[in-house]
């Protein structure tokens, strides 16, 4: 039970951190509530002309090496098979990395179309890399390299 509570609190911390960053940048944002929600935050641009949906994924894990995907270290978030199919123009993910009490997290704002493509690719790549046939699983991962070559870190302007 304690482990599940930790996951819930980690997720909530990420959502509230994202809300504060949006407010600081002039966005109007509202956290959605309920068990059947399909998005975490509804965002209105500072101009009021664009409404965006934001799904928040939060991790407190440190950078890790995953040599199969490259020599660099990666930030990694758990995803599911369903994320391969979610490709909506006005849906973004904000991947959050908690840095510990008293430190501001890292934020990565990524279009859902990119996430879907990456999650699908990485899972197929992982399956093909197995020397022995493995049972497929609905679990997926999303990774961002430490040096963030696609400039997703603090990419808040994508929401305008």
The larger pLDDT score, comparing residue 132 to residue 107, is at: 107
Confidence of residue 135 (pLDDT cuts 50, 70, 90): confident
Q: How far is it, in rounded angstroms, from Cα 107 to Cα 27?
A: 16
Give me the pLDDT at residue 132, please.
83
Tokens 């999650």 found at: 119
Q: Which residues of 102-116 are buried (b: 16+ CB within 10 A; e: fewer)?
A: eeebbbbbbbbeebb
Query: What's the average model confidence in pLDDT over 122-131?
Result: 89
Q: How many domains does the structure of the chain reveal?
A: 1
The larger pLDDT score, comparing residue 36 to residue 153, is at: 153
Confidence of residue 60 (pLDDT cuts 50, 70, 90): very high
Confidence of residue 35 (pLDDT cuts 50, 70, 90): low
Give me the pLDDT at residue 87, please.
94
Give me the pLDDT at residue 18, please.
98
What residue numbers bound the domain in which 65 lies?
2-159
- For the stretch 70-102, pLDDT in tens is 889 999 999 999 999 999 999 999 999 999 989
Q: Given its phi and psi angles, is residue 148 left (phi above 0), alpha (psi -120 to 50 degrees) or beta?
A: left
Is the pLDDT confidence value at 28 over 70? Answer: yes
Residue 143's CATH number? 3.40.1350.10
Confidence of residue 2 (pLDDT cuts 50, 70, 90): very low
Across-strand partners of 31?
41
Query: What's the average model confidence in pLDDT over 132-142?
Result: 89
Cut 0.85: pTM above it: yes
């Amino acid at each position: 039970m304690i482990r599940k509570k930790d996951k819930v609190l980690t997720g909530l911390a990420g959502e509230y951190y994202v809300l504060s960053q949006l407010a600081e940048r002039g966005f109007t944002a509202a956290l959605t509530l309920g068990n059947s929600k399909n998005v975490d935050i509804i965002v209105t641009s500072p101009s009021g002309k664009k409404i965006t949906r934001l799904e928040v994924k939060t991790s407190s894990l440190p950078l890790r090496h995953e040599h199969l995907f490259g020599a660099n270290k990666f930030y990694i978030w758990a995803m599911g098979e369903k994320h391969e199919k979610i490709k909506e123009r006005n849906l973004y993910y904000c991947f959050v990395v908690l840095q510990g009490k008293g430190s501001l997290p890292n934020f990565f704002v990524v279009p859902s179309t990119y996430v879907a493509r990456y999650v699908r690719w990485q899972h197929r790549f992982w399956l093909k890399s197995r020397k022995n046939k493995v049972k497929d699983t609905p679990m997926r991962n999303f990774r961002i390299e430490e040096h963030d070559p696609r400039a997703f870190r603090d990419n808040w302007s994508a929401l305008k």
